[in-house]
Structure 1
Amino acid sequence: MKLLVFGFGYTSRHVADRLRPGGAQISATVRSRPKADMLTRSGIRAHVFSPDRCDPAIALDIGEAEAILVSTPPDGSGDPVLAAFADRIAAAPHLRWIGYLSTVGVYGDHAGSWVDETTPAAPSDGRSQVRAAVEQAWLAFGAISGIAVHIFRLSGIYGPGRNQLAQLAAGTARRIVKPGQVFNRIHVADIAAVIEASLRQPRAGAIYNVSDDEPAPAQDVVSLAADLCGVPPPPEIAFESAELSPMARSFYGESKRVRSALIRSELGVVLRYPTYREGLTALRASGEGPAG
């Protein structure tokens, strides 16, 4: 299989690592020439795609691709991949699968209630509103082109090097408390498993929540990480007095519990890390966290 990844970042790299041992040929876009050269040396043919540069060779990879994974964030006007390549993608002769990595943020705030794929999107901030619009644009593209488009709504992503254990080691972990606030999470290895399963079983217009089974307050996850490391947890900080970036603060403006039963019933995925407990425990066993 030939897979073209638009936006080769943390999640996409783990997807590629899962697929390459099975013979998948991966090409990708990144935003800088040094990163493209580094990926090419590792066996992933990479090209630069950014607001001020678009490598002409991307068109050749589209023409050869059997699958396309879109992991680039929207810009102010929508999806940059659709804007630049919609006609070429629609005409790609071998293409049978398109995946778009979105976010559970498109559901908006549900005051801690449960949501699933049948819950209407009701984004409450500007970034999520653009995400919801891009989802619809890709689904409409799939309906017109006849190519199976899939939307993956991801919860908070964690995994190697990106987790509360690493934050404790770096001295940046904080226990911010907002009563009643809960989040879902998803280990990056489980995202890769869902993508692989969908590639085996395309379904045009599919929307999947990709999320763990235990929504929990953020401070509880930090506390578990500290317990696993045998160190005191950082002190609690009231949300109202916490110093947060506008983006971080916006995450606390929404609370919901996310169901992801469809990836099990339809794709047959069994999460390796069904809650943050298994995920952090495995990461600690691999050496993540403070050395002491």
Structure 2
Amino acid sequence: MACASTATERSEPQLRLLILGLGYTASRLAARLRDHGWRVAGTTRDGREGSIAFADTERVRFEIREATHILSSVPPEGEADPVLAAHGDALMRSGVWLGYLSSTGVYGDSGGGWVDESAPTGTGRRTARAAADAAWLALPNAHVFRLPGIYGPGRSPLDRVREGRAQRVDAGGQVFSRIHVDDIVEGLVRGLQGPAGAYNLADDLPAPQSDVIACACRLLGLPVPPLVPLAQADLSPAARAFYSENRRVANGKAKRLLGLTLRYPDYRFGLRALSATTSPASASSAPAAASADQR
């Protein structure tokens, strides 16, 4: 972890991170870097809990000018990226590290095949996300991190099972990729000194949603629910659309160029660790993991 430890253990005051969109994942990154002496500022929609309101343009512009590193986790609104629409010109200054939390949904459907960062984007249902992904990649020194389903403390299949909201969907061989939030943070930390470009951050084992729910039930000592055919499943339109795409996300580039080693190489390791904690349950997105739009 030579690169990562160098980035996090330095305590020089000039290391200033601005996070645009202080959500689930980005907040964990902020906490880690603050513990190592970084000055971290972040925005939210309403400026809650000491954050900066995104609409406070003057303050946001000040933080952009002062930052050495800027990370956006703000998803598109309609067809536009709110950060680029409001501050794209200010992000063009040279020397600053730029990061963007994107989605592996930019790849669309691969029929269950593996996709890496060389795969085409913009062919799936997330066209606005793909456009934002490409726009961020075009900026100087930009690092785009493409995320699959996100799970972690308070936001995992275990919570859905505990709350009685879990169902196992028989989607005819569909698999999806996921990653524990702590492994995302590790990838971001390593990316602070990594080369610019796009990186998939995913674990090593894409798997059917039904297998993940079954694992969570067994860890909790609860009955495994029967499989429900996709056509009969009680799903929101967004969740049902999720099952229209089938892909396996490759993570080799992050391992090679960033030196990323996964603490939780597949969902079984991650869920086992979470089941041993007492984190309170909270809502998670279907199916069984938070989407990259809820970072």
Give the TM-score band, short-chain normalised. 0.7 to 0.9
- Listed one character per residue, the Cα deviations across residues 211-237 of structure 1 (whole Å, up to 9, x for unaligned) are 000010001001001111111022321
| 288 and 167 in structure 1: CA distance in 2 versus 1, 3 angstrom threshold | farther
Report what 1:275 is aligned to. 266
Report which stretch shifted further, 81-90 or 99-108. 81-90
CA contact (8 A) 2:154 2:280 kept: no
Establish whether residue 161 from structure 1 lines up as the match of residue 175 from structure 2. no
- Please tell me whether residue 58 in structure 1 is matched to residue 60 in structure 2: yes
In the alignment, which residue of structure 1 is the partner of 2:96? 96
In structure 1, C-alpha distance between the alignment counterparts of 2:114 and 2:183, rounded to whole Å: 21
Q: 1:148 aligns with which of 141, 161, 164?
A: 141
> Are 1:219 and 2:210 counterparts?
yes
1:190 equivalent in structure 2: 183
| Residues 122-176 of structure 1: per-residue CA shift (max 9 Å, x gap) | 4321xx1111111111222x2xxxx300111101000000001111111111111
Matched residue, 1:80:
82
1:50-73 residue CA offsets vs partner (Å, 9 max, x unmatched): xxx334211111111001111001
Deviation at 1:111, TM superposition (A): 1.1
Cα pair 2:22 2:42 within 8 Å, conserved = yes
Give 2:133's aligned residue.
135
Confirm or deny: 8 A CA contact 1:74 1:131 kept in the other structure.
Answer: yes
Distance in 2, matches of 1:235 and 1:227, equals 13
Question: SS in structure 1 opposite 2:146?
Answer: strand
- Is the deviation greater in 235-244 or in 22-31? 235-244
Give the whole-Å Cα distance in 2 for the aligned partners of 1:213 and 1:135: 23
Which of the numbers 175, 180, 194 marks the counterpart of 2:168?
Answer: 175
Alignment: residue pair count? 267
How far is 1:77 from its partner?
A: 3.1
Show the counterpart of 2:120. 120
Give CA-to-partner distance per residue, 1:246-284, whole Å, 9 cap, x none.
111111000011110111111111000000000000000
Report the 3-state secondary structure (helix = DSSP H, G, I; strand = E; otherwise coil) of the residue aligned with 2:218: helix
TM-score normalized with structure 1 length: 0.88
Q: Following TM superposition, by how much is the alpha carbon of 1:89 offset from its aligned partner in structure 2, in angstroms?
A: 2.2
Q: What is the distance in 2 between the residues matched to 1:189 and 1:60?
A: 30
Q: Indicate the RMSD between aligned Cα atoms, in angstroms.
A: 1.5
CA distance in structure 2 between the partners assigned to 1:270 and 1:194 by the alignment: 9
> Residue 130 of structure 1: SS of its match in structure 2?
helix
In structure 2, C-alpha distance between the alignment counterparts of 1:190 and 1:281, rounded to whole Å: 15
2: distance between equivalents of 1:77 and 1:216? 31
Rounded to whole Å, the distance in 1 between the matches of 2:133 and 2:280 is 36
Change (3 A) 1:196 1:99: same
| Residue 67 (structure 2) pairs with residue 22 (structure 1) | no
How many Å apart are 1:25 and its aligned residue? 1.1
Residue 52 of structure 2 corresponds to residue 47 of structure 1: yes
Instruction: Render the CA deviation track for 1:15-38: whole Å, top value 9, x for unaligned.
Output: 1122121111111110114x2xx1
**Pair 1:123–1:11, CA change in 2 (3 A):** farther
Query: Distance between the aligned counterparts of 1:139 and 1:190, measured in 2?
Result: 22
Unpaired runs of 5+ in structure 1? 41-45
* CA–CA distance in structure 2, aligned partners of residues 88 and 209 of structure 1: 27
In structure 1, how many angstroms separate the alpha carbons of the residues matched to 2:67 and 2:164? 43
Partners of 2:121 and 2:57 lie apart in 1 by 35
Contact 2:122 2:131 in 1 (8 A): no
CA gap 1:288/1:171 in 2 versus in 1, 3 angstroms: farther
- Which of 8, 24, 38 does residue 10 from structure 1 map onto? 24
Q: Which amino acid aligns with 2:81?
A: D
1:289 deviates by 8.4
Read off the aligned partner of 1:139 and give its amino acid letter.
L
Structure 1 counterpart SS, 2:88: helix
State the secondary structure of the residue aligned to 1:194.
helix
1:68 aligns with 2:70: yes
Which amino acid in 2 is paired with 1:11? T
Q: CA deviation at 1:88?
A: 2.0
Which consecutive segments of 4 or more residues in structure 1 shift more than 4 A?
none
After superposition, the C-alpha distances for 1:84-107 in whole angstroms (9 at most, x for unaligned) are 11222224x7x5211111111111
